[in-house]
Amino acid sequence: MAIALKGVSLKRAVMRSIVWVLVAFVGLTMLVPFLWMLITSLKDDPQVFKWPPVWIPNPVKFKNYADAWKIAPWARFFFNSLFVSIVVTVVSLFLNSLAGFGFAKYSFPGRNLLFIYLLGTLMIPIYATMVPIFIMLKYMGWLDSYQGLIVPFLATAFGVFLMRQFFQTIPTDLIEAARMDGCPEFRIFWQIVLPISKAPLATLAIFTFQGTWNNFIWPLIVVKRNEMRTIPLAVSALAQGLYVMSWPQLMAGASFAITPVIVVFLLFQRYFISGISLTGLKE
């Protein structure tokens, strides 16, 4: 019996070691491009094209960041991206959670059919809807404006689904008790449901902020003026040589672009895993 237990323990230890090696390998493959971007941003131009590659810049040129910041109006680009991303994230958290609460805790005719229809929209590629949305915004006069960048993404089927799955785990007795005490419906949602929904809200906030910040295709279609560019458009313009053609400065600009996303993830990471595990398990 003891020998069998030792054999099982040894097998588990070997399998766990294999899993950790695979995880470390996958993590390394994802980390290398990021490290290469940072290393390249600290080189001078000749070192970029040396073979074998130079992994430790000599000299280290932090000046590339200052030069990259000066050659383009990055402050304006950052304001555009931050404003759009923050507004979309905050408003979508409210709208998606409100709709998810309605689907989870209210019974009304056609609820299940409407929810299935909502989930069906997830199978429609975003590129199939860009032309009709563009035409609508054109007639509304919202092209090349903040409204055109913000309004089409204020609510998503994925966000509604994510919040609905979590809200289904909240005991209905809690809501019924609040109603018996005379609590209005919106107050139940605002002061009882939302405070206990930090994990899924943080998860949705990370997804929404990251998706909005990194969105390239839609701003490329809507935005024409230079002062309305977002960070992805600015990095693209930098890569095309609109401002300068320097790979170290281009990588410095790319470093500017990813910094807010990393900051947001670090701020909400403790809620992220719990939010993923709490949503999607309830049928």
Are residue 77 and residue 143 in the same domain, yes or no?
A: yes
Q: Quick one: 98 and 196 in the same domain?
A: yes
Q: Is residue 86 part of a domain?
A: yes
Residues 154 and 27 in one domain: no
Q: DSSP class of residue 229?
A: -
The structural domain count of the chain equals 2
Cβ-based burial of 120 (10 A; exposed 0-12, middle 13-18, buried ≥19): exposed
Q: Give tens-digit pLDDT for 47-86.
A: 877 788 778 888 888 888 888 787 778 888 889 999 999 9
Q: Could you tell me if 51 and 208 are in contact, meaning their C-beta atoms sit under 8 angstroms apart? A: no
The pLDDT value recorded for residue 147 is 92
Do the Cβ atoms of 129 and 218 come closer than 8 Å? Answer: no
Look-up of token digits 């304006």: 76
Residue 17 belongs to domain spanning = 2-41
Average pLDDT, the chain: 83
pTM: 0.81
For 86-122, what is each residue's pLDDT tens digit? 999 999 999 999 999 999 989 888 888 999 998 888 8
Query: What is the per-residue pLDDT for 282?
Result: 45
State the burial class of residue 8 (Cβ atoms within 10 Å of its Cβ: 0-12, 13-18, 19+). exposed
* Residue of higher predicted confidence among 149 and 31: 149
Residue at 51 is within a domain: no
Whether 56 maps to a domain, the answer reads: no
In this predicted model, what pLDDT tens digit does every residue of 175-203 receive, in sequence order?
888 888 888 889 999 988 988 888 889 88
| Residue 20 pLDDT > 80 | yes
> What gap in Å lies between CA 206 and CA 91, rounded to an integer?
14
**Domain presence at residue 181:** yes
Who contacts 182 (Cβ-Cβ below 8 Å, separation ≥6)? none
Together in a domain, 77 and 29:
no
Pinpoint the alpha helices (H) of 125-184: 126-140, 146-150, 157-167, 172-180
Query: Can you give the pLDDT at residue 273?
Result: 61
Handedness of CA 237, 241, 244, 246 (dihedral sign): positive
Is residue 163 domain-resident? yes
Candidates 261, 282, 147; CA nearest to 205 is 261
26 and 79 housed in the same domain: no
Q: Do 138 and 236 have their domain in common? A: yes
Of 25, 57, 24, whose CA–CA distance to 39 is shortest? 57
